[in-house]
């Protein structure tokens, strides 16, 4: 327990809870159930579809970006070693790895985003950290091909001949 003392409970939800890290004030989503790779954390849909991406949206098509419902999924943070994918075909939050109770639930931004509205520097500290997080369109192919991508991003990568390997 003691190593989680800096996490302040914000709100509880099916299979997860929102907590705030009091050391850096970052809000994140944490598992309250353990999952196996391939499990579904939760189904999601859109509360609103917009044409222009922003830091809260998930891309589902060209000029189609959704605001997530349930809304608390907006607190899912980026990691360069993600444990979930926003699968925009099945509209399910899909586990890419096993997840233990208490683990932060994270996704890889470029796995769903072709272009990112605000690029940012990642501080995940993982050995595979990509540093500057950009849309899939701008990441090096050798980085992108290490990740499971949404069907939309895979299709875009093929269309633009980014990832001939797929």
The residues of the shown chain that bind Zn ion, judged by CB under 5 A, are 80, 122, 124, 129
Which CB sits closer to Zn ion, 122 or 163?
122
166/163 Cα distance (integer angstroms):
6
φ/ψ of 126, rounded to 5, equals: -75, 150
In the bound complex, what is the minimum distance in angstroms from residue 75's beta carbon to Zn ion?
18
Which CB sits closer to Zn ion, 27 or 124?
124
Which CB sits closer to Zn ion, 69 or 77?
77
DSSP code of 110?
G
DSSP code of 115?
S
In the bound complex, what is the minimum distance in angstroms from residue 141's beta carbon to Zn ion?
18
- Name the burial class of residue 160, with classes exposed (0-12), middle (13-18) and buried (19+) by CB atoms within 10 angstroms of its CB: exposed
In the bound complex, what is the minimum distance in angstroms from residue 52's beta carbon to Zn ion?
25
Which CB sits closer to Zn ion, 46 or 97?
97
Helices marked H in the chain: 141-144, 151-159
In the bound complex, what is the minimum distance in angstroms from residue 152's beta carbon to Zn ion?
22
78/121 Cα distance (integer angstroms):
11
């Amino acid at each position: 327990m003691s190593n989680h003392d800096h996490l302040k409970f914000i709100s509880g939800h099916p299979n997860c809870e929102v907590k705030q890290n009091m050391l850096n004030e970052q809000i994140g989503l944490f598992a309250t159930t353990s999952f196996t790779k391939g499990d579904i954390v939760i189904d999601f849909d859109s509360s609103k579809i917009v044409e222009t991406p922003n830091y809260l949206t998930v891309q589902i098509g060209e000029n189609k970006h959704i605001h997530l419902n349930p809304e608390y999924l907006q607190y899912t943070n980026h990691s360069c070693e993600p444990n979930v994918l926003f699968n925009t075909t099945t509209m399910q939050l899909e586990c890419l790895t096993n997840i233990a109770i208490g683990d932060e639930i994270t996704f890889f931004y470029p796995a769903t985003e072709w272009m990112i509205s605000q690029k940012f520097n990642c501080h995940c500290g993982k050995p595979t950290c990509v540093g500057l997080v950009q849309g899939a369109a701008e990441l090096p192919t050798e980085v992108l091909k290490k990740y499971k991508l949404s069907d939309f991003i895979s299709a875009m990568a093929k269309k633009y001949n980014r990832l001939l390997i797929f």
